[in-house]
């Protein structure tokens, strides 16, 4: 039963375990990624995201676990897995000394495409990734965004059905990041399965059908972005005062607030509903207390991330 299910998934892991020496990095994790979806693995630095990608893409072995990619058992048929996947890692496969086009042709050779087919695929992908004008220039002259696009174009030469993208937008400016998101969406629209690791929660929120948060060697939570947001307590209203005495009277009178004397700010748990806001504003009016600024904050993936990965670099206000 389990086997049938895991065979029909693009990626399935059960009890994945990996240690480096006596340091356990992955302590029995389970993953299930249906075909044609984007799955995002989130986690603080050093959580083991790259290790998961390396294991699932057959670059390193696991210590234990039942692992299937594209229906193939990694322990039995890693070659079949390699034929089905593409990997774009944090360390670019692009050779800076040769041109973008030559990089592509080299990969086409590695995939044993005929000369004609290699040229055709290269031309099509360079066009698709807006690299035609730069095709004859050494890749070392490319910007970070162009290099990343070339990297993905090279990954697509073998027409993989499953792609691992390890932090594909780290270091890119917002425009290049949005271009990359567009590329990922197009891939998924074509039926490709994308396994994405990222440190940008906004990226997972934008792209991923399902998100897993890796922490301390385990999956701390998994679900759609909305499901994860529902896991943590509701939002809050923040009141900022220009005046210290107004701040103090409000801090004394309002119960269940988090107070920050330095920035003259109070934070109250709130669902952000009109009813709650009206009650709060009415109270401020009746007490003749004037807040300089009122902001409503609904939970976002950042809150989820900080709540689940305690011990990571969390801002002071993230979790109480
Ligand atoms: N070859 C190795 N030998 C020993 N320890 C390793 C090795 N590779 C990774 N590690 C350790 O395993 C842990 C997980 O590393 P990994 O690169 O998978 O994390 P990550 O979640 O991808 O981090 P980042 O977001 O910083 O890229 C880290 O503590 C790392 O130092």
Give pLDDT tens digits for 57-73.
Answer: 999 999 999 999 999 99
Ligand 1 atom at minimal distance to the Cα of residue 53: 18
pLDDT of residue 313: 44
One domain for residues 201 and 218: yes
Question: Span 210-238, mean pLDDT?
Answer: 88
Work out the average pLDDT over 305-310.
80
CA of 20 from ligand 1 middle (Å) equals 9
Burial 275-305 (b: 16+ CB within 10 A, else e): ebeeebeeebeeeebebeeeeeeebbbebbb
Confidence of residue 311 (pLDDT cuts 50, 70, 90): low
271, 139: one domain: no
Judgement on whether residues 226 and 238 belong to the same structural domain of the protein = no
Cα-based distances in Å from 267 to 17, 192, 296, 310: 41, 44, 10, 20
Residues with CB under 6 A from ligand 1: 20, 25, 43, 45-51, 199
Q: Which of 230, 252, 275 is the last residue of a domain?
A: 230
d(CA 69, CA 6): 9
Using an 8 Å Cβ cutoff, are 95 and 103 in contact?
yes
What's the number of domains the chain is made of?
2
pLDDT in tens, 261-277: 899 999 888 877 888 88
How many residues can be counted in the chain?
A: 320
Can you give the pLDDT at residue 234?
Answer: 65
Q: Which residue has the tokens 């050093």?
A: 46
Question: Is residue 182 in a domain?
Answer: yes
Last residue of a domain, one of 230, 259, 280: 230
Give the pLDDT confidence score for residue 7 in this predicted structure. Answer: 58
pTM of the predicted structure, to 2 decimals: 0.80
- CA 191 from chain centre, in angstroms, equals 19
Which pLDDT score is estimated for 317? Answer: 36
Residue 105: which domain range?
A: 2-230
Atom of ligand 1 nearest to the CA of 197: 22
Residue, of 224 and 256, whose pLDDT is higher = 224
């Amino acid at each position: 039963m389990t086997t049938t299910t895991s065979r029909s998934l693009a990626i399935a892991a059960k009890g994945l375990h990996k240690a480096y020496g006596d340091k356990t990095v992955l302590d029995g994790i389970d993953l299930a990624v249906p075909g044609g979806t984007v799955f995002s693995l989130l986690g603080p630095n050093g959580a083991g995201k790259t290790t998961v990608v390396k294991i699932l893409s057959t670059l390193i072995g696991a210590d234990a676990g039942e692992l299937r990619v594209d229906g193939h058992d990694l322990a039995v048929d890693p070659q079949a897995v390699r034929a089905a996947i593409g990997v774009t890692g944090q360390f670019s496969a692009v050779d800076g000394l040769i041109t973008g086009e030559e990089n592509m042709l080299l990969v086409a050779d590695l995939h044993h495409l005929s000369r004609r087919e290699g040229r055709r695929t290269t031309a099509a992908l360079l066009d698709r990734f807006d690299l035609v004008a730069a095709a004859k220039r050494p890749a070392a002259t490319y910007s970070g965004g162009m290099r990343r696009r070339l990297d993905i174009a090279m990954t697509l030469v073998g027409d993989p059905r499953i792609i691992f993208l390890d932090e594909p937008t780290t270091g890119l400016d917002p425009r290049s990041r949005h271009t990359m998101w567009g590329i990922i969406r197009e891939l998924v629209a074509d039926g490709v399965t994308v396994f994405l690791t990222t440190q940008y929660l906004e990226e997972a929120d934008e792209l991923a059908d399902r998100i897993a948060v890796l922490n301390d060697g385990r999956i701390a939570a998994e679900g759609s972005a909305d499901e994860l947001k529902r896991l943590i307590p509701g939002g809050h209203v923040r009141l900022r005062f220009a005046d210290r005495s107004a701040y103090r009277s409000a801090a004394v009178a309002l119960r269940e607030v988090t107070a920050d004397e330095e920035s003259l700010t109070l934070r109250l748990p709130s669902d952000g509903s009109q009813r709650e806001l009206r009650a709060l504003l009415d109270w401020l009016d009746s007490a003749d207390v004037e807040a300089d600024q009122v902001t409503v904050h609904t939970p976002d993936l950042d809150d989820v991330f900080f709540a689940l990965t305690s011990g990571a670099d969390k801002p002071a206000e993230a979790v109480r």
